[in-house]
Structure 1
Amino acid sequence: MKGSTDTQFKLELKKMIVDECRLDDFDPQDIKDDEYLAGPEARFGLDSIDMLQVIVTIKNRYGVHIQNDAESREILATINNLADHLRPE
């Protein structure tokens, strides 16, 4: 199943991001699947250190290595992008 179609998997990813980035003011269920997670458009205020922590956690939890470059910004842009990268089919 493609990641972006798996509601439970996306909730798991949202919980991971809230926990790893210490977003205590946010309920994972309130994160929209297609909203930006980082950058000036994002409401979370995540920075490059936060995103690096997410990358490390993804590698440890899912065994998937994400390069810390332009490709990673695209993969980590939204929950849908991240879910599809981790589960493309």
Structure 2
Amino acid sequence: MIGSKDDNFKKELKELIIEECDKDIEASDINDDDILFSEECALELDSMDALQISMALQKEYGIEANDSKKLRKIMVSINTLADYIQPE
């Protein structure tokens, strides 16, 4: 199943981000199409959070994204991240 259609997988990603970035919010506070690195997103992520997330993705899913441009394309929203990790 494509990642953006898998609600359980998206919840798992949200929880991973919350835990890795030490945020005090619930997964349900994050909309699947929120732009993760914007002021409007409940996560309030910054560049250090991006590094934490990329390391967690590598550890958990074997995703290597050392290129910052590639990371920006992958981590636009929960949906884009889910589709990248789980394309089918």
TM-score, normalised via structure 1 length: 0.91
**Matched residue, 1:28:** 27
Contact 2:29 2:42 in 1 (8 A): no
**Matched residue, 1:4:** 4
- C-alpha change, 1:31 and 1:43, in structure 2 (3 Å) is closer
Gaps of 5+ in 2: none
Is 1:47 aligned with 2:46? yes
Amino acid at match of 1:18: I
Between the aligned partners of 1:67 and 1:18, the Cα distance in structure 2 is 21
Is 1:63 aligned with 2:55? no
Q: Provide Cα deviations, 1:7-27, integer angstroms capped at 9, x if missing partner.
A: 000000000011111111x11
Contact 1:52 1:68 in 2 (8 A): no
**Matched residue, 1:75:** 74
**Matched residue, 2:17:** 17
- RMSD across aligned C-alpha pairs, in angstroms? 1.2
Gaps of 5+ in 1: none
Q: How far is the alpha carbon of 1:68 from its aligned partner?
A: 3.4
Between the aligned partners of 1:65 and 1:3, the Cα distance in structure 2 is 18
Amino acid at match of 1:27: E
